[in-house]
Structure 1
């Protein structure tokens, strides 16, 4: 369970940073940098570059993702941008346009 929830109808334009899990149901524009998990819920919109341990996409992400552990794009998830992570899961039904780099040291 996420410590912080950005609810539906909320728009954040700027930078989010910290070390607690975040669930995004609203819209985030700018940059996200967390030492934890970022979850983009169905209906959530991220127009930002994301750096995190783990990223789960059920909504829409436009921007690049760098994850130290894993990235998962779920069946209803949509992503446009590049992914850099040692573990990547793109579910059947998900949409992805970009490049993948799994050569992470």
Structure 2
């Protein structure tokens, strides 16, 4: 687990990452989102996101539900559990209300986490973290 004051992770400076699926700003998606290609959330998702690829929730975006992915990069708000089979990254503007389960965790100063952390050490199973 790492903590940092690294300003290079400032969400205001984030360059868009290549994503096959983008939930655009001002868009609300209700339901489950699944697949095997990278996803970037810029709007709101109400439901479970289960992707066997990286997931990014940008600043100003919100997820009301569980997130399961390989690498989960958070700068927005998540109300639900997060499972990252490789790395969970909470940037300075991230707000997570739920448990985080990950093989590795990086938290930037300013991120808020209201929940428990479970470090798996190796790739976490894609099984969801238990609800609070």
Q: Common fold, TM-score beyond 0.5?
A: yes
User: Does residue 90 of structure 1 match 2:75?
Assistant: no
Q: Counting helix residues as a fraction of each chain, which structure ranks higher?
A: 2
User: Which residue of 1 is the match for residue 70 of structure 2?
Assistant: 53
Q: Which has the larger Rg?
A: 2
Per-residue deviation at 1:103?
2.8
Q: Counting strand residues as a fraction of each chain, which structure ranks higher?
A: 1
- Pairing partner for 1:34 from 51, 75, 80: 51
Structure 1 residue runs without a partner (length 5+): none
Distance 1:10 1:42 in 2: 14
User: What count of residue pairs does the alignment treat as equivalent?
Assistant: 105
- Pairing partner for 1:78 from 95, 107, 113: 95
Structure 2 residue runs without a partner (length 5+): 1-17, 123-132
Per-residue deviation at 1:104?
5.3
- Normalising by structure 2, what TM-score? 0.77
- If asked which structure has higher relative contact order (CA below 8 Å, sep 6+), I would say 2
Distance 1:103 1:55 in 2: 15
